[in-house]
Structure 1
Amino acid sequence: MILKKKLQLLLINLLFASCQSDSSKAFVPESNGNINTLTVVMDKGSWVGDLGKKIKKVLTEPYEGLPFDEPKYDLYHLESSIFTGFARSSRNIIVFNKDTTDQGFRIIKNLWARPQITAIITGEDEAVMSFYFEENKDLLMRSIDENERIEKIRRMSISPNKDKELKERLGIALTFPDAYETVKDTTNFVWIEKQVVKGHLNIIAYTLPLDIDLKKIEERIPKIRDSIGEIFIPGRVPGSYMITERAYLPYYYKTKVNRLDAILTKGTWEVQNDFMAGPYVNYIINDTINKRKIVIEGFSFAPSESKRNYMFELNTIITTMKFAN
């Protein structure tokens, strides 16, 4: 399983490398579409049948770490007869071809637009196409996720925030829009915030000793978050502060940020002695050069609003972390 994941990551890196196929070098128009949307090209019979049901089940699985289920992607179905012109400019496309020749699965970058990921699945019948999809679904979704991350960074870079608090306090830099403003800046803690409909998006950053005990992460990380919340993140009423909600078990992963080892946590926060809650994403990054751990967390508060794209934005911002020059 580990070897398979490594091979998938290698394929994704090759896919996004500078050396691309001829299709990526040819002139193509700019792609379009909202973040985390997919166009699925398939005949109507298959879409309402078993193959379509399987595709929808896999691609609309819940986005991790939200208090209520929201689909990972928004799907738009088109039949091949109308998949022409502007429709081919979508940023993420999956095409199902019923054919006995060139059967298999392949991903092409920038086939009809730029940036774009197009997956073409060809089989003699639905069973064969279903097989190729099942065998390659992880690679497909990882490729789409990376494509969306890069696109989100591009959009945020159009009007980036140029504040220097993160650089001056922690020696790091993040890419985020100028709609974010610094709301707290202390010796070892920076908090930036963006107002959204009915709420706000937040990113906090601070450091911990490199040798801090994280052997039992399911116990230590919530306690660290709670202590930081009590000191730095007050609620709306006196004596209230942000803590980790224990009713929802967080997701924990080992990952990397800017080639540095990190622990990723996705969970739900709440406010002690108040009625506020929402999702969070937390990265604890090993900075061995400076003998510390860098903690960067994004959390959102937007009652009754969809939170998937909010959390995708916060997660994407954190992945841009680099050391400031």
Structure 2
Amino acid sequence: MKTIYAIAFSLILFTSCNKGKDQRIIPGSNGNINNLLVVVDNLLWDDSVGETIRDVVAASIPLLSPEEPVFSLNQMPPMVFEGFATKNRIILKIEKGGEAGVVIKNDVYARPQTVAVVSGKTDKEINDQLQINGDKIIAAFKKEELKENQRRIRISLMDDGALQESLGVKLNFQTAYRIAKQEKDFFWIRKDIPTGTMDIMIYEVPLNAIKKGDSTIIDIIRMRDSIGEVHIPGPVEGSYMITEDAYTPYLYETTVDGKPTFETRGIWDVKNAFMSGPFINYAIEDKANSRFVVIEGYVFSPSVEKRNNIFELEAIIKSIRIK
């Protein structure tokens, strides 16, 4: 009997050891938010392939002043792509010589990580793949960076009990923010930054306040301007936040918390004062409670880059959960 137990124990030990050898130990990824490592041969980088890469993943983000790219790029030739460099969280690899195509991979060299591999036999094939699949590649990288931003936010969370009690929503935002104004169905949350402020507004409006169709953007502008007049005063008497009418906002349909949502991106302005900046507004359809939950993030930071500020606000907004 002892012999049988000994054999069984040896088999379990042997199997466990072999299983352990098959499993890779993947290190943690690193990198600044929205910093993309591009692994491509120097000759390709300096030629048309490099131009296409910059046009696709480093295009200017609409409505930001000064202009900023979707991603900040760091280029590296394949021969030195090893060690610490492989741990970057988002990586674009260009491989010349193989069949034309794009493959999105996860956790290849580190975790979490997204790697987009673009291949083609010629420069033209690679350029075509980048242009055809540009939106897909950008979406994959943004998804990874959004998760990372939300992970960092969760490290130091503010108590959102007041939001849950008044509006029935849960939101993850850092203790660096403060509730500047609270009313029954309106919250104004602010964070001071060295060059200005980052702000979030949360409120509710009836379902009939925003109609789907040609008037949607008009309804949203009218809604946010009325909220700005009542709740967001400017620096001088009689001034308040409005939507800048010189720039037509961008309107998209998306989902937040699994619910149909209107996403609006534009420029805010202050009536009778010289202040402006970018905003992102999400009107979330909450049919169960016969309302839209509206949550908006905006930045005031004159003459300073604001891409990562807006991205942080987007990460906070997309953490919302409606009861």
TM-score by length of 1: 0.88
SS of 1:221's equivalent?
A: helix
Contact 2:66–2:305 under 8 Å retained in 1 = no
**Corresponding position of 1:79:** 77
- Aligned pairs for 1:14-29 within 5 A: 26-29=24-27
Question: Is the counterpart of residue 173 in structure 1 residue 170 in structure 2?
Answer: yes
Change (3 A) 1:223 1:113: same
**Corresponding position of 1:182:** 179
Equivalents in 1 of 2:236, 2:284: separation in Å? 32
**Corresponding position of 2:12:** none
**Structure 1 stretches of at least 4 aligned residues deviating more than 3 Å after TM superposition:** none
Equivalents in 2 of 1:196, 1:119: separation in Å? 34
When the two structures are aligned, how many residues end up with a matched partner? 299
Out of 30, 48, 51, the position equivalent to 2:49 is 51
Identity across the alignment (%): 39
Equivalents in 2 of 1:133, 1:227: separation in Å? 43
Question: Is the counterpart of residue 315 in structure 1 residue 318 in structure 2?
Answer: no
Equivalents in 1 of 2:218, 2:128: separation in Å? 41
Paired amino acid for 1:62? S
**Corresponding position of 1:141:** 138
Out of 23, 41, 46, the position equivalent to 2:39 is 41
Cα distance, 1:271 vs structure 2: 0.8
Change (3 A) 1:281 1:213: closer
Equivalents in 2 of 1:280, 1:105: separation in Å? 33
In structure 1, the gaps of 5 or more residues are 1-24
Contact 2:157–2:174 under 8 Å retained in 1 = yes
Larger radius of gyration, structure 1 or 2?
2
**Corresponding position of 1:119:** 116
Contact 1:172–1:321 under 8 Å retained in 2 = yes
Equivalents in 1 of 2:275, 2:100: separation in Å? 52
Cα distance, 1:173 vs structure 2: 1.0
Equivalents in 2 of 1:126, 1:235: separation in Å? 53
Deviation string, structure 1 residues 280-320 (Cα, Å, up to 9, x no partner): 10011110001111110101101121011111111111111
Equivalents in 1 of 2:210, 2:197: separation in Å? 32
Equivalents in 2 of 1:160, 1:94: separation in Å? 32
Paired amino acid for 2:234? G
TM-score by length of 2: 0.89
Equivalents in 1 of 2:241, 2:34: separation in Å? 29
- Aligned pairs for 1:223-262 within 5 A: 223-262=222-261
**Corresponding position of 2:280:** 281
Paired amino acid for 1:115? P
Contact 2:259–2:286 under 8 Å retained in 1 = yes
SS of 2:155's equivalent?
A: coil
Contact 1:165–1:190 under 8 Å retained in 2 = no
**Corresponding position of 1:164:** 161
**Which deviates more, 240-249 or 131-140?**
131-140
Question: Is the counterpart of residue 99 in structure 1 residue 118 in structure 2?
Answer: no
Contact 1:109–1:115 under 8 Å retained in 2 = yes
Question: Is the counterpart of residue 192 in structure 1 residue 184 in structure 2?
Answer: no
Cα distance, 1:93 vs structure 2: 0.6
Contact 1:91–1:115 under 8 Å retained in 2 = yes
Equivalents in 2 of 1:213, 1:284: separation in Å? 9
Contact 1:278–1:299 under 8 Å retained in 2 = yes
SS of 1:31's equivalent?
A: coil
In structure 2, the gaps of 5 or more residues are 1-22
Cα distance, 1:89 vs structure 2: 0.6
Question: Is the counterpart of residue 89 in structure 1 residue 54 in structure 2?
Answer: no
Cα distance, 1:56 vs structure 2: 0.7
SS of 1:211's equivalent?
A: helix
Equivalents in 2 of 1:184, 1:26: separation in Å? 50
